[in-house]
Amino acid sequence: MIFPEGLLSIPLEPFIRLKDWWDGTEKRKGIKEQLLNTLDIEVKSYSEKFEELNRIGKEEVLPFIDSIEV
């Protein structure tokens, strides 16, 4: 295989830095997706618990408070 002289004179450092940048970007992307998935699960759990507390307040606590005679 014959290489033109210009190809051999290109320094490899910019390509190595580009590869390192690309690998770092891919790792951060994966971490970001994992974080968002975890937060999504936590938000859903919090929302479900809040709705349950809201239901208990409306169906059980408020009627109990209304039934108390002063």
Residue 67 pLDDT exceeds 50: yes
Assigned domain for 12 exists = no
Asked if the structure places residue 2 within a domain, the reply is no
Which two structure tokens, joined as six digits, stand for 60?
A: 């059980």
Q: For the chain, what is the mean pLDDT? A: 80
Full-prediction pTM beyond 0.95? no
pLDDT band (50, 70, 90) for residue 1: very low
CA dihedral for 47, 48, 50, 51, sign (positive or negative) = positive
Domain of residue 48: give its range. Answer: 35-70
Summarised one tens digit per residue, pLDDT across range 31-62 is 778 888 888 888 888 889 999 999 999 999 99
Establish if 11 belongs to a structural domain: no
Per the structure, the count of domains in the chain is: 1
